[in-house]
Amino acid sequence: MSNSLSHRRLFSQSLAALTLVALAACLSGCASMSDTISPAFADPAKYDLYDCKQLEPERKGLAARTAELQGLMRKAETGVAGPVVAEMAYRNDYIALRGQSKLADEAWEKNRCQESKPEARPAPVPPSIAPAPTAKGRSKSSRAAN
């Protein structure tokens, strides 16, 4: 009877170890999946009809939002349960944005777009030295003339 009990204990311990190994293998596969699945979260035809003037601000906005999410994820990872919070709160948005960015970049290359040069702004005109008269600021001579 004790022989049967030790076999059961050995079997349950082996099963638990095998389960942990299988779970670790599955989770490690998820870490690299985001690179290949990111376009699946974005509409592939979204940028097909965009021209270069529309694509440029869209790409800049996507890059800014992606950088913002990366910063939030890095900040969340500093806490005790940070990696879990970062994954649950930000990872899906981050993956979707990467997919959109990839599609926007492909449309940019397909349209052979070029970065526009920043427009030259005219120099600001300095304010005039004499202030304009106001209703309260009228002098005595102007009141006397009325």
3-state secondary structure 94-113: HHHHHHHHHHHHHHHHHCCC
Query: Is residue 121, in this structure, part of any structural domain at all?
Result: no
The pLDDT tens digits for 107-117 are 999 989 888 77
Q: What is the mean pLDDT of residues 35-44?
A: 64
Does 52 reside within a domain? yes
Q: Quickly state the pLDDT bin for 65 (edges 50, 70, 90).
A: very high
pLDDT at 118 over 50: yes
pLDDT at 25: 46
Tell whether the model's pLDDT for residue 77 goes beyond 50.
Answer: yes
DSSP 8-state symbol, 137: T
What residues make up the domain containing 94? 11-115
* Residue 85 domain flag: yes
126: tokens are 């300095």
pLDDT tens-digit profile of 18-31? 565 455 444 444 44
Give the total number of structural domains in the chain: 1
- Is 30 within a domain? yes
87, HSE (Cβ side, Cα atoms, 13 Å)? 8
